[in-house]
Amino acid sequence: MGYCIDGLLLRCVHCDEMTDVHTPEQRSFNMSRISGRDTKPEMLVRRMIHAAGFRYRLHVKDLPGKPDLVFPKARLVLFVHGCFWHMHKCKYGKPAPANNRDFWAQKRAGNADRDKRNRKALQAAGWRVAEIWECQTKEAAKLEKQVSKVLAVLQEART
């Protein structure tokens, strides 16, 4: 079994699949460091909402899906989703890993299904559910537009 170097990427000569440049131990370590909270997109959203004068609770365990931000008085929850992990239909959410395809397809589809179940459960309990996607945080104008929608709901609940 041989490997050829195609630019900086290694490809299997026999099956043309990408090979991992890390050992299983290194990959496991890297994956263990991927956090589900306090991510860069989440922190951007939190700073903007806080700067607008609104306060929130973080990752409330009593609610389905442990929403990233919870506004109890407004009965609003906000999820800041990573496009890859939650299968957003954007350029960041569409690509699927070449290796271990079945595992990743099942993992990502499971995340998306769980998101739907959590959304329905929250709505059934009387909560309004908002989502901001990672891709929307990459451009200031898009982020401001999405956060302004959340702020409008919060402002409405204040009056």
Paired strand residues for 58: 69
Q: Which residues contact 72 (CB under 8 A, 6 or more apart)?
A: 57
pLDDT at position 35, please? 67
Q: Tell if the pTM clears 0.85, that is, is over it.
A: no
pLDDT at position 6, please? 43
SS (H, E, C) the chain: CCEEEECCEEEECCCCCECCCCCHHHHHHHHHCCCCCCCHHHHHHHHHHHHCCCCCEECCCCCCCCCCEEECCCCEEEEEECCCCCCCCCCCCCCCCCCCHHHHHHHHHHHHHHHHHHHHHHHHCCCEEEEEEHHHHCCHHHHHHHHHHHHHHHHHHHC
Paired strand residues for 76: 71, 128
Whole-number Å distance between alpha carbons of 70 and 75: 8
Please provide the distance, in angstroms rounded to a whole number, between the alpha carbons at the two ends of the chain. 69
**What dihedral angle (degrees, nearest 10) is formed by the CA atoms of 39, 45, 46, 49?**
180
**All structural domains of the chain with their residue ranges:** 1-34, 36-158
User: Options 3.90.650.10, 3.30.70.260, 3.30.1490.20, 3.40.960.10; which CATH number does 36-158 get?
Assistant: 3.40.960.10
pLDDT at position 2, please? 43
Spell out, as residue ranges, where the chain has pLDDT lower than 70: 1-19, 35
pLDDT at position 5, please? 43
pLDDT at position 9, please? 41
pLDDT at position 8, please? 43
